[in-house]
Amino acid sequence: MLQIGVIFLYINAVFALLGLLGSIGAALFALIYLAFTVAYGFAGLGIANEKRSGYRVGLAVSAANVLLSLVFLVMYQSFTTLLSMVLAVALLALLAHPESRGYTRLWFH
């Protein structure tokens, strides 16, 4: 579960970086994409290196992504925002799964 979550974190970091490159003109969106890119990368590397802080950041950024996707889904009501919401919930579910929490509680420092 946790390995798939790390892969999802890396994929989301790449997509956030692409969003950052696409939104250079809009300062607010550029800052949001930059924050998500850094957080996803930090969380992925932290979990891969068994750091508890990486796991906590991963949970926080995935929960923030779920909330942001929910806001965009209500505002725009399109298929792409629905797909983004489903993937954000899947990442949060992978990280918050009892098996993942048990592993981090036992092995992470």
Digits of tens for pLDDT over the chain (109 positions)?
999 999 999 999 999 999 888 877 778 888 989 999 999 999 999 999 999 999 999 999 999 999 999 998 899 888 888 888 999 999 999 999 999 999 999 999 8
Helix axes 52-76, 27-48, angle to 10 degrees: 140
What integer pLDDT is reported at residue 90 of this predicted model? 96
What integer pLDDT is reported at residue 81 of this predicted model? 85
CB atoms under 10 Å from CB of 22, counted, come to 12
CB 62 within 8 A of CB 85: no
What integer pLDDT is reported at residue 77 of this predicted model? 87
What integer pLDDT is reported at residue 28 of this predicted model? 83
What integer pLDDT is reported at residue 64 of this predicted model? 96
- Give the distance between the most distant pair of CA atoms in the chain: 45
Distance CA 74, CA 68 (A): 10
- The half-sphere exposure of 57 on its side-chain side, counting CA atoms within 13 A, is 21
Number of structural domains the chain divides into: 1
Which residue range forms the structural domain that includes residue 97?
2-107
